[in-house]
């Protein structure tokens, strides 16, 4: 199989700017992207740098960007990649910010690892240091983790996250999925401490912008976004949620649905932001003019309001703290 790879090359030690090198390869039909990188390194240009170890989607080290999508090189069949992206395959590091490049496809992942460490990615429990048997949990308790324990810390989700582009402090999808992996584990004794950390504005679950890029790129099916929504619920269920613009926004949804059976966009902003709503007045006027939000006395109600109110009543489990 003929394959043309355009590979990002940059050695900050002796080059001013990156360039792309083109390599024409002849590979087996079942070759994966890592085979192509190995072919270049072993037979064409030994100076190419990239990370790899297991070749089986276990170690998470070979993550790169292929035509703009974060992938594991060892789990990406080239035949399928050509079908998806066309003849020209462009391989880049997960982040091509100049200050992050160590060499070629190898980046400095310190920011990623710092956030992973911040959420204490290990079981916190009183356990016998010399147990006679394993510390087992029931199958249904394992199911509650919903594959969060499959994460191999490859960073594909982290470097695709839209929220992180704007907010460098945000913990990001991997660290939040990791938090859920332990907050959902029956054996862990630090659930409240973990939830309090990710409840913080600026770094935590309320700063996810719900773009779902983390679901799309995760090679292990971890689905960090859904874990983030579970953390939202756990924060309310454990009585940790404090009154702030994010939790008031979540409550505003419930308030509006309870009252109308449908979402009242205008009141939702007022409910979440209180007097600060004044800064949104220009947008509010333009939305009123276009009929996107309604005055309270014009707000329609759902035909099934009573049924919806009963559902809200039985599913609501929390009060916000001051």
Binding region for ligand SF4 (CB under 6 A) out of 25-33, 134-142, 203-211, 301-309: 203-211
202 φ, ψ (degrees, to nearest 5): 95, -40
| 81 makes contact with ligand SF4 (CB under 6 A) | no
C-beta of 61 vs 234, nearer to ligand FES: 61
Pattern 257-296, ligand SF4, x by CB under 6 A? ----------------------------------------
| 137 makes contact with ligand FES (CB under 6 A) | no
| 102 makes contact with ligand FES (CB under 6 A) | no
Closest alpha carbon to 32 in 66, 69, 60: 66
CA 214 to chain centre: 4
C-beta of 50 vs 225, nearer to ligand SF4: 225
**116 contact, one of ligand FES, ligand SF4, none, CB 5-8 Å limit per kind:** none
| 77 makes contact with ligand FES (CB under 6 A) | no
**Shortest CB 211 distance to ligand SF4, Å:** 4
Q: 102 to 161, contacts with ligand SF4 by CB under 6 A? A: 151-157, 161
Residue 27 and residue 35 in contact, taking contact as beta carbons nearer than 8 Å: yes
C-beta of 40 vs 164, nearer to ligand SF4: 164
192 vs 146: CA distance, rounded Å? 20
The two beta strands, 19-26 and 63-66, are unpaired
**Shortest CB 62 distance to ligand FES, Å:** 3
Long-range CB contact pairs, 304-310, < 8 A, 24+: 304/261, 305/260, 305/261, 308/257, 308/258, 308/261, 309/258, 309/261
293 vs 256: CA distance, rounded Å? 13
C-alpha dihedral sign at 287, 293, 294, 295: negative
140 φ, ψ (degrees, to nearest 5): -70, -25
Q: 32 to 71, contacts with ligand FES by CB under 6 A? A: 52-55, 57-62
- Angle formed by the axes of helices 110-118 and 172-183, nearest 10°: 20
246 vs 253: CA distance, rounded Å? 11
Q: 204 to 243, contacts with ligand SF4 by CB under 6 A? A: 208-214, 217-218, 220, 222, 224-225, 228
**Shortest CB 115 distance to ligand FES, Å:** 20
CA 257 to chain centre: 28
Binding region for ligand SF4 (CB under 6 A): 151-157, 161-163, 173-174, 177, 208-214, 217-218, 220, 222, 224-225, 228
């Amino acid at each position: 199989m003929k394959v043309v790879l355009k590979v990002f090359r940059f050695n900050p030690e002796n080059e001013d700017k990156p360039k792309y090198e083109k390599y024409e390869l002849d590979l087996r039909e079942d070759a994966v992207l890592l085979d192509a990188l190995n072919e270049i390194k072993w037979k064409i240009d030994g100076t190419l740098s990239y990370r790899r170890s297991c070749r089986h989607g276990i170690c998470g080290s070979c993550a790169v960007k292929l035509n703009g999508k974060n992938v594991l090189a060892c789990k990406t069949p080239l035949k399928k990649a050509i079908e998806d992206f066309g003849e020209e395959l462009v391989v880049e590091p997960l982040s091509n910010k100049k200050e992050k490049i160590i060499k070629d496809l190898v980046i400095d992942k310190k920011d990623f690892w710092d956030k992973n460490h911040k959420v204490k990615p290990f079981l916190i429990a009183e356990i016998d240091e010399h147990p006679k048997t394993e510390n087992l949990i029931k199958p249904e308790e394992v199911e509650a983790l919903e594959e969060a324990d499959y994460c191999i810390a490859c960073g594909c989700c982290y470097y695709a996250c839209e929220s992180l582009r704007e907010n460098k402090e945000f913990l990001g999808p991997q660290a939040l999925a990791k938090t859920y992996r332990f907050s959902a584990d029956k054996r862990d004794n630090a659930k409240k401490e973990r939830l309090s950390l990710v409840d913080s504005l600026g770094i935590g679950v309320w700063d996810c912008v719900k773009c779902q890029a983390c679901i799309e790129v995760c090679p292990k099916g971890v689905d960090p976004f859904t874990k983030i929504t579970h953390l939202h619920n756990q924060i309310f269920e454990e009585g940790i949620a404090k009154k702030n613009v994010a939790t008031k926004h979540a409550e505003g949804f419930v308030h509006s649905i309870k009252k109308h059976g449908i979402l009242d966009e205008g009141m939702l902003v007022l409910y979440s932001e209180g007097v600060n709503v004044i800064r949104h007045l220009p947008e509010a006027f333009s939305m009123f003019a276009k009929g996107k939000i309604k005055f309270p006395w014009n707000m329609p109600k759902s035909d099934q309001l009573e049924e919806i109110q009963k559902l809200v009543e039985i599913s609501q489990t929390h009060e916000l703290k001051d």
